[in-house]
Structures are given as C-alpha cells and as structure tokens.
Amino acid sequence: MLGNFQQTQLRIEITASANTIRDSLLRPEQLQKWLIGQRFAQSIPEELHQGLQFTTWTGPVAVHHRVDVAKANCLRLLLSGGIDGFHEWYWGDGWVQSRLEGISFLPLNLGQTISLLSLRQFLSAETSTVIRNS
C-alpha cells in the first residue's frame, strides 16, 4: 500500500449511555445514519460480530473491514484497501474513544474527527428525541 503511516487517537464526552453508544457503533442501521461520507457496499447483518467482513466507500476509495473484536464496550476493525491498518473503538457511559492507525493517502485524523463529532451530534439528537417523547 502506498501512502503515509498515520496514527490518531481521540476521546470525547457524549451525553449518552454506554448501551446507546454501543448500538450506534455495532448496529449498521444506526451506524449508517451518522457515518458521514461513507456508504456500505452490501447489506450487513443486524449487528457487527467477530469475523464479519464488509466494505465501505469514501468517495471512490474502497475500505475493506474485518471485525476482529465486537464486545459490549469495544469494537476493533482490521482495515485494508484505502486504509491498511486498524480502527478501535472503546466506550462507556458518557464517553467514546477512537484509535486509528494505518497507511493511507486519506487524511485519517480529519476523517476520525468528523466521525466522532457526527456521532456526538447524532446521539445528542437521539437523546433529545427520547426526552421530548417521554
């Protein structure tokens, strides 16, 4: 793979429970609602699980994912194609952390920052909807 080795790690506070964050990361139906600029190449099961393989597209660039770990508070994806590396997610009540390492021409830090801010905005809107409907 050609490109630059990049590594980035971000942690942000999010007004959401660990279970809500988990569903937003492990359930593709939710994931596709907030993951800006990426589209999924095929249908994916209701929930990500270890060993699952799928492809996303960022513009014309395909990134192949293999789920290495999918637990109640952790997701680790092995990446190939447009990014050769891995993406780890950890979360708990009120916070989420993302660690991304790989070789790519894509600006990984920018993409990671946009993704985390989009997740925060999505979960804030979800929380507001639940509160209004209560």
**What is the mean predicted confidence (pLDDT) over 45-69?**
94
> Looking at the domain assignment, is residue 52 inside a domain?
yes
Q: Domain tally for the chain? A: 1
The predicted structure's pLDDT at residue 126 = 75
Domain assignment of residue 12, yes or no: yes
13: amino acid identity, one letter: E
CATH of the domain at 94: 3.30.530.20
pLDDT tens sequence across 78-98: 999 999 999 999 999 999 999
Inside any domain, residue 77: yes
pLDDT digits (tens, 9 = 90+) for 2-26: 789 999 999 999 999 999 999 999 9
The pTM for the full model equals 0.90
Whole-number pLDDT of residue 70: 97
The reply to whether 134 falls in a domain is: no
Counting Cβ atoms within 10 Å, is residue 56 exposed (0-12), middle (13-18) or buried (19+)?
buried
The whole domain housing 47 covers 4-129
In a domain, 34, yes or no: yes
Closest by CA position to 103, among listed 21, 29, 6, 18: 6
